Amino acid sequence: MDKPALAIMTRVPSPEGKSRLGELLTPEQREDLQWVFLLEAIKKTRRLPGFKCFVAATPPEQIEKLGHLPGCGRLEIIPQPAGDLGRRMMTVARQLHRRGYKPVILIGTDTPELPPEFILEAAQLLQRHHLVLGPSFDGGYYLIGLSAPEDRVFQGISWGTGSVLEQTLSICHQNKLTYYLLEPLRDIDRPDDLRALAGENRQRALEQHPLPAKIREFLANLT
């Protein structure tokens, strides 16, 4: 029986990370936010029965900093290779496929509202599609799932721009790869994203569907 794999793609948190949030956050706050988001991504793996889960981290020389994280004992920590985002994702996905995992799903840590149910749904959809993508509001994607190795979808992409998803879908069309799009979600990359998340946190509290506790705590400390 095929065993699905999930890889959480992350940079080891540092004060230099999330620099686009520098308008709102100090370097120390930016590092704290990265740890909070990474911990929440790891917590999601508890609700993925049957999955083998990985943390794929960069830079490789700093991944020992992740060993102390709660829940990391259940996950395998692997280094990301050198190269742009596409090369790193392509190599991690290929590595997991070669180890016999199928399908392979990659997520980042910048989408705290991603429910584990979306990951489970993606695994089911990959039984009849080549790719599953989770679009983000900024024109990229927060999740990519592959039923088999497909290096082409990671090549020739203008990473970090608003055309990432569009270019990826164009490659799918050119190569007759079937795909499914999940519900769009927000990546937290820019000040307006964080402001929107804070506003949504207040609305969720009123509706009794709060964000995870660590994220609520972080947002509360900003005010």
* pLDDT 10s digits, 121-155: 999 999 999 999 999 999 999 999 999 999 999 99
Using left for φ > 0, alpha for ψ between -120 and 50, and beta otherwise, residue 18 falls in left
Predicted TM-score of the model (pTM): 0.92
More confident residue, 216 or 210: 216
Domain residues of the chain, as ranges?
3-186
Q: What integer pLDDT is reported at residue 218 of this predicted model?
A: 80
For 97, other C-beta atoms within 10 Å of its C-beta total 18
Angle between helix axes 191-206 and 213-222 (nearest 10 degrees) is 120
Total residues found in the chain within this entry: 223
Tokens representing residue 151 in the block: 């290096």
The dihedral of CA 168, 173, 174, 176: what is its sign?
positive
Q: What's the average model confidence in pLDDT over 108-113?
A: 94
3-186 has which CATH code? 3.90.550.10
Helix (H, G, I), strand (E, B) or coil at 97: helix
Helix (H, G, I), strand (E, B) or coil at 50: coil
